[in-house]
Amino acid sequence: MSPAVDDPHASGPFLLRGLRPVGVAERWEKDPDLGPVVVPEETLLRRVTELGEEITLDYEGRAPLLVGVLKGAFVFMSDLARVICQPVEVDVMAVASYGSATATSGVVRIVKDLDSDLTDRHVLVVEDIVDSGLTLSYIRRNLLARRPASLEICALLVKEGRQRADIDLRYVGFHIPPDFVVGYGLDVAERYRNLPDIRVYQGPVPVD
């Protein structure tokens, strides 16, 4: 049973676990396009809590500005912000990468820019998944040009053996095999963002 809202002993992943209608998990299991679970929900929430604790310690006395990369990072950043035990500010940006549905060319354009001035701010970029790293490398260069006091990256997932750009990732949730995965904010054609865990997608991939 989930702890009560006012339960003083509630901590860790229990603070992040939401209530879902009965039968939701069973409906996901019946989807033929979903393959094996890569990262279970409880493991995800536990690791997000650990990352929040690390960030809280590292940014003591400095209020970080969390910059979420839309759309994939919105679930991760929402959960992460709630387990950082000090004031934070939040902003978002959206970029479009030219390439196929499963690979990027590294040619990037900003679709939605930040509202915040980054000058002398302590910026923490929150990314859902690092594949080639080309898009994230562009984002990092772009934001550094705005003269923040510091800039670090927190990535939930890093695909093993796929990186084509050398990026310093301060915080990493999980290293995973180079499969096409969905869930916890990650999608295919805008589907499966609300899947509570990370799973392999084994259905047809839309062609851009």
Which residue is listed with tokens 């899947």?
Answer: 195
Rg (alpha carbons) of the chain, rounded to whole number: 17
90-98: long-range contacts (C-beta < 8 A, 24 or more apart)? 90/65, 90/66, 91/65, 91/66, 91/67, 91/115, 91/116, 92/67, 92/68, 93/67, 93/68, 93/69, 93/139, 94/69, 94/70, 95/69, 95/135, 95/138, 95/139, 97/134, 97/135
Quick check: 86 and 61 in contact, CB under 8 A? no
* Catalytic member of 58, 115, 128, 131: 131
Q: Give the whole-angstrom CA distance, residue 199 versus residue 192.
A: 10
Quick check: 141 and 148 in contact, CB under 8 A? no
Q: How many CB atoms lie within 10 A of CB 69?
A: 23
Q: Give the whole-angstrom CA distance, residue 176 versus residue 157.
A: 7
User: What tokens appear for 184 in the block?
Assistant: 């916890």
- The maximal CA–CA distance of the chain, rounded, in angstroms, is 50
208 is catalytic: no
Please list the active-site residues.
Answer: 131
